[in-house]
Structure 1
Amino acid sequence: MRLDDGRVVSEDGVTWLPPVVPRTTFALGLNYADHARELAFKAPEEPLVFLKGPGAFIGHRAHTIRPEGVKYMHYECELAVVIGSTARGVKAAQAYDYVRGYTVANDYAIRDYLENYYRPNLRVKNRDTCTPLGPWLVDRDDVPDPMNLALTTTVNGKLTQQGSTRDMIFAIPWLIEYLSSFMTLEAGDVILTGTPEGLADTQPGDEIVTEIEGVGRLVNTIASATEYGSGR
């Protein structure tokens, strides 16, 4: 990796930050029919959208804390869409004009705390360190078809999740039209577009790699709460 000052360093020789500072983050629940079936839920007829706070985000090669005493904490490989300009009342046909670019998100969930399929509560999806983002932002024009990208997740080198963005229930242009129909999207807003089936529990020490074709390979390690922070 070449830094701005010309120095060349190894990938693990720097501290990675999220490639964007999210303004408002919209997260999609159950946006892949196979994932809905995996959780024994009916596929939604309209988007299940919730918001995420900024403290959830960390960068490439960072550690995500697994709280003490939880029974099931799983990854979610997701394509993250970064808005590039103010969007209000946008039609799907023009939606990509308002996209700045794309990155990879791994939106961990703690199933122990899930209240119901429609409202992931704060402890499920808004914990500190629970959403790695990166490793970089890919410009919109460098991803010709974001609705046809392979997604994979490996846990300690074993393939556990595999899917494609073409299987989204609500496609990216449709989501931008939907959200901008009742609120203004601004540059820096992020849309996390959901995850396909293939979830597995993760434990401290596990290395999770979420990868999206043409976008990037995001590496993250699970850490125990006693080693890295609060167990709450």
Structure 2
Amino acid sequence: MIDNTKHKGLRQKLVKVLERKGITDKAVLEAINTVPRHLFMDSSFLDHAYQDKAFPIAADQTISQPYTVAFQTELMKVEKGDKVLEIGTGSGYQTAVLCELGAKVYSIERQRELFKLTSKFLPKLGYRPKKLIFGDGYKGLVEEAPFKSIIVTAGAPFVPNPLLAQLDIGGRLVIPVGEKVQIMTLFERKGPKDFEKTEFGEFKFVPLLENKN
């Protein structure tokens, strides 16, 4: 697993692209600058690793576009030590970015093939989430709740109530909502039954699947 000067230079160029697109959180940009994205992709896509594009991975899923990863992460306002739930581990790239930010990451993946691959791969790079779970992301992880923030990395046709319920007061849920095209949506929990909703425009994700275990 090689991460050389060329890769690091390409990451720096990617960070400049993200800055031009409006990402301003210095900690998020530094995490993108640190995580070796090329190692999370099939070797046939190595030339594309630091382009601002999504690419296929195993189990008919994708590794998200770096801008999308940065945008969602910026909305979460992660601070070191925050307890974070990720719905859709996928390649583990977003997981690694959250780990770089010092979050205590709990991540759920419902594709068994991806779950097995990522569970073995992340520790090899030095990223050790608190817990990786093979399960149904729609249900969240009630036994570990509440969470300071929750990120959903696939398109949800609706907002799962368990995820809202598992947010801490003051917590933030970042979720792309919609069928063919999703609206990036932020829910901030202001009280036991009080949520503030903000929408941030259109994105396109693979669908969030349920009841497949």
**Structure-1-length-normalised TM-score:** 0.26
Larger Rg: 1
- Pick 1 or 2: higher relative contact order, CA cutoff 8 A, min separation 6: 1
Which structure has the highest strand share of the two?
1
Task: Return the structure number with greater helix share.
Answer: 2
